[in-house]
Amino acid sequence: MHTTRQHQTIPYPVIRRRTISRTYTKAGIFFPMIIALLLGLKGCGGPQGQEDKREQFVDSLLSEMTLEEKVGQITLYTSGWTITGPALDSNYRQYIIDGRCGNIFNAHTVAYNLELQRLAVEESRLGIPLLFGYDVIHGHRIIFPIPLGEACSWEPELARRSAALSAKEAAASGLNWTFSPVADLSRDPRWGRIAEGSGEDPLLGARFTAARVRGYQGSDLSDKNTLAACLKHFAVYGAPEAGRDYNTVDLSMRTIREVYLPPYKAAVDAGIATVMSSFNEINGQPATSSRYVEEILRQEWGFDGVLVTDYGAIAELIPHGVATDSAHAGELALEAGVDMDMQSGIYMKHLSDLVKEEKVDEQVIDKAVKRVLRLKYDLGLFEDPYRYLDPEWEKTVVHSQELIDHSVEAGRRSMVLLKNDVVNGSPLLPIKEGPARIAVIGPMADNRIDILGSWHAAGDPEMVVTVSEGLRKQFPDTDIRTAEGCDFYTGDKSGFAEALALAAFSDVVILAIGENYVQSGEAASRSELGLPGVQQELTEAIMKTGKPVVAVIFAGRPLTINWISENVPAVLWAWQPGSRGGDALADVLSGEYNPSGKLTVTFPRNVGQIPIYYSPRNSGRPFNPHDKYTSKYLDVPNEPLYPFGYGIGYSEIAYSNLNLDRNEISFGDSLQVSVTIENRGEYVAEEIVQLYTRDLVGSVTRPVKELKNFQKVPIAPGEQKTVTFSLHSDHLKFYDIDMEFVAEPGEFEVMVGPNSSDLLTARFTLAD
Ligand code: NOJ
């Protein structure tokens, strides 16, 4: 329905800002009473009072809306991107004016979004402001490390800050909603989107996801430095069969609840404003029509925010085989509790008819609309629809120094040193005195795009400091030259000769290799995890020159690097560190920063080991080298190449004196677990001390170890420190045979150490 301007009966109070919008007053509608209601909000006393005001406001607005306008509020369409910037399909413009599209994604920059917001506020009958969503996953214009890399810092506070700064820059660019954080835990590096999560562990995943929510949203959604966050992808998207993106997921409810759900739950507990349903199926139902939306997300966890689909997921209910046609798909999604339709257009096309045919109850639509209106209200959009659209503020914040500084800091904290052998009498790294000549060889040497990683969205390549640029700044007196050697894809070896000549001419070779930014991320599953293209051959050829070589590997996932691990003396996993990756890398290679990251995902030796993770169950035939009939491979060890939690620095850190303050606790009690660490090297270090437990006998089988806590501890050269953890009986809970979340009495192992393999072990009992 298209209502002309003469019929406007605007019932609600956008407080229009004449300073920003000169044409704004032309709507000419001003409702002192309702404005007074809004202005009264601040002083209306207590959260309950505020909530009541919001409900009154939302109800009154809803009561004025036609069915088409309601459906418009639960419709989200994308802006496209042309060479010059975002561009909206002309149909969508008309939909905005007609009140049939209330939300836009992929549109950003103040100038552009201001224009669209004006359409909504001034040209539509009710003038309801638009939400502007975007995938601000690890930075907006200035990019921080990919989330998996950042998790390797084991510092949720770092992630909170990255999210807060991303929100600030994105909100200054006209956005009010980010499709982040990704809580999808994954044990499968074939899946390219492992790059977007925090790794394989539920505890780490939960802490990082919650920190990111707090970072994006702050304590007040209407603050112009914050965004509404979107938890995704609900649920268990990180476990597609065979690691193939979008593929079927088939997990036991025990594994879903115990392993995969905690990061999503942590986001809900942290107050996430919105959730995105995932593409996969869960227990036989596509997530977008799954009973778990209502049962787990809404009822059990109490989430009452907006649930949006992932892209055209409603339409995908048809190929999934649960909907006969698009109308049926829309009906199923709405019934399941999906509030907003991203991009499929199915709600827009069918919901009104479905109501008329009495297949859908209008009240269900109302519920969804109210959730969206509440969100807009919380974002402060009714108070000021141009809140995030201030061109001066955009200029001040975008690309600002605090973002740049944080990109360096987060980049260096996410890198993981995997190997550092002695070459010519001392460890190859750090490169202390600038050598006379450094060769930087590989497709990452001068690269200002792939260092940003997948989903860098509006990330700005012009702001990148490349590997060679970073090294040149760090070693101004060194002759630093680069050669690409090869690309990421092809079999083209024509660059080898130049690369080999450069290596021969140099004192140290930095091999800057790995994956490009589209070789991980969405729709980027791989069945082989070696270095793509001819980078392996390039590496072998360079090693033959006999020069000291440091392999710096940029990737969005673990790769199978057995040869490199055996043959190259120093290996640094740089992930995709973001805009200032070159600076971050130079800090690490020079020793200005002692690498402190540790892996949050297991590195397999080959693809056949996948899924491989640190916390399997023991089986009835655990591996025994003297018994053929135990669980193993004929052609590869069971152990990974690098275990979860692994990473070294420039100082050796020794662990000793694992001590428990008692050997028995009761339910409700805690145990103090302490260990001594000592920095035996010359570098100030930050050691990630990890605590695991094992429930030795349970009513159901239990993992051989589970991370229960960790601390990142600064420690000076020569210093000894006692690190203490409090372990409570609640930390020992799991889903028992009846799916009750309980701890069971009995004996436990507690293990503390620098990674999930090298652990000191003690025992205690949880008494009956
Ligand atoms: C599809 C992706 O799966 C999701 O993560 C993203 O937020 C949406 N597209 C919107 O771009």
Give 126-182 pLDDT, tens digit per residue: 999 999 999 999 999 999 999 999 999 999 999 999 999 999 999 999 999 999 999
Ligand 1 atom 11, closest CA: 135
**Is residue 421 domain-shared with residue 371, that is, in the same domain?**
no
CA distance 13 to 21: 16
Question: What is the DSSP code string of 734-762?
Answer: EE-TTS-EE---EEEEEEEESSSSS-EEE
State pTM to two decimals. 0.95
Q: How many domains does the chain have?
A: 3
Return the SS3 of 207: helix
Residues 6+ apart with CB under 8 A from 626: none
**Is residue 475 domain-shared with residue 347, that is, in the same domain?**
no
Q: For 699-718, what is each residue's pLDDT tens digit?
A: 999 999 999 999 999 999 99
- Smallest CA-to-CA distance from 647 within 754, 557, 759, 510 is with 754
Distances, alpha carbon 725 to alpha carbons 284, 424, 661, 673, 731, in Å = 41, 41, 11, 5, 12
- Smallest CA-to-CA distance from 472 within 362, 586, 548 is with 586
State the CATH number of the domain containing residue 382: 3.20.20.300
Which domain range does residue 235 map to?
3-395
Q: Ligand 1 mean position to 179 CA, how many Å?
A: 7
In 3-state terms, the chain is what percent helix, strand and coil (to 5)? Answer: 35, 20, 45
**Is residue 248 domain-shared with residue 199, that is, in the same domain?**
yes
Q: Find out whether the beta carbon of 232 lies less than 6 Å from any atom of ligand 1.
A: yes
- Smallest CA-to-CA distance from 526 within 613, 610, 455 is with 610
**Is residue 587 domain-shared with residue 683, that is, in the same domain?**
no
Ligand 1 atom 4, closest CA: 310
Given ligand 1 and candidates 81, 177, 276, 277, which is best to mutate, with the most ligand atoms within 8 Å of its CB?
A: 276
Q: Ligand 1 mean position to 118 CA, how many Å?
A: 26
Q: For 617-655, what is each residue's pLDDT tens digit?
A: 999 999 999 999 999 999 999 999 999 999 999 999 999
554, 581, 596 — which closes off a domain? Answer: 596
**Has residue 34 been placed in a domain?**
yes
Q: For 396-424, what is each residue's pLDDT tens digit?
A: 999 999 999 999 999 999 999 999 999 99
**Is residue 89 domain-shared with residue 231, that is, in the same domain?**
yes
332, 361, 395 — which closes off a domain? Answer: 395
Give the tokens for residue 82: 């042309």
Return the SS3 of 559: coil
Residues 6+ apart with CB under 8 A from 643: 599, 602, 603, 614, 755, 756, 757
**Has residue 644 been placed in a domain?**
no
pLDDT reading at 44 higher than 80: no
pLDDT at 38: 52
**Is residue 183 domain-shared with residue 60, that is, in the same domain?**
yes
- Smallest CA-to-CA distance from 218 within 93, 377, 379 is with 379
Q: For 304-324, what is each residue's pLDDT tens digit?
A: 999 999 999 999 999 999 999
Q: For 359-373, what is each residue's pLDDT tens digit?
A: 999 999 999 999 999
**Is residue 290 domain-shared with residue 171, that is, in the same domain?**
yes
Tell me the sheet residues that pair with 47.
Answer: none
Strand 570-573 and strand 549-554: the pairing is parallel
**Is residue 562 domain-shared with residue 439, that is, in the same domain?**
yes
**Is residue 339 domain-shared with residue 198, that is, in the same domain?**
yes
Catalytic residue flag (residue 310): yes
State the CATH number of the domain containing residue 577: 3.40.50.1700
Q: Find out whether the beta carbon of 496 lies less than 6 Å from any atom of ligand 1.
A: no
**Has residue 601 been placed in a domain?**
no
**Has residue 456 been placed in a domain?**
yes
Give the tokens for residue 446: 């001068």
Q: Ligand 1 mean position to 522 CA, how many Å?
A: 8
**Is residue 219 domain-shared with residue 343, that is, in the same domain?**
yes
366, 395, 424 — which closes off a domain? Answer: 395
Q: For 538-590, what is each residue's pLDDT tens digit?
A: 999 999 999 999 999 999 999 999 999 999 999 999 999 999 999 999 999 99
Q: Find out whether the beta carbon of 201 lies less than 6 Å from any atom of ligand 1.
A: no
Which residue of the set 184, 310, 339, 695 is catalytic? 310
**Has residue 637 been placed in a domain?**
no
CA distance 271 to 304: 10
Q: For 193-228, what is each residue's pLDDT tens digit?
A: 999 999 999 999 999 999 999 999 999 999 999 999
Q: Find out whether the beta carbon of 77 lies less than 6 Å from any atom of ligand 1.
A: no
CA distance 642 to 757: 9
| pLDDT range class, residue 19, cuts 50, 70, 90 | very low
**Is residue 292 domain-shared with residue 155, that is, in the same domain?**
yes
**Has residue 155 been placed in a domain?**
yes
pLDDT reading at 11 higher than 70: no
Total length of the chain: 768
Q: Find out whether the beta carbon of 310 lies less than 6 Å from any atom of ligand 1.
A: yes
Strands ordered across the beta sheet of 508-514: 416-420, 570-573, 549-554, 508-514, 437-441, 479-483
- Smallest CA-to-CA distance from 179 within 262, 90, 265, 78 is with 78
Greatest Cα-to-Cα distance within the chain, rounded to the nearest angstrom: 88
Q: Please give the radius of gyration of the chain, using alpha carbons only, rounded to the nearest integer.
A: 27
Q: Yes or no: say if 492 and 213 are a contact pair by the CB < 8 Å rule.
A: no
CA distance 692 to 704: 9
pLDDT at 86: 84
Q: Give phi and psi for 195, each to the nearest 5.
A: -60, -30
Distances, alpha carbon 319 to alpha carbons 206, 524, 566, 676, in Å = 32, 21, 46, 57
**Has residue 638 been placed in a domain?**
no
Q: Yes or no: say if 543 and 549 are a contact pair by the CB < 8 Å rule.
A: yes
CA distance 625 to 82: 60
- Alpha-helical (H) ranges within 25-64 are 32-39, 46-63
Mean pLDDT, residues 71-87 taken together: 90
Mean pLDDT, residues 29-36 taken together: 38
**Has residue 627 been placed in a domain?**
no
Nearest-atom index, ligand 1, CA of 106 = 11
**Is residue 67 domain-shared with residue 86, that is, in the same domain?**
yes
State the CATH number of the domain containing residue 761: 2.60.40.10
Residue 129 gets which letter from DSSP? P
Q: Find out whether the beta carbon of 522 lies less than 6 Å from any atom of ligand 1.
A: yes
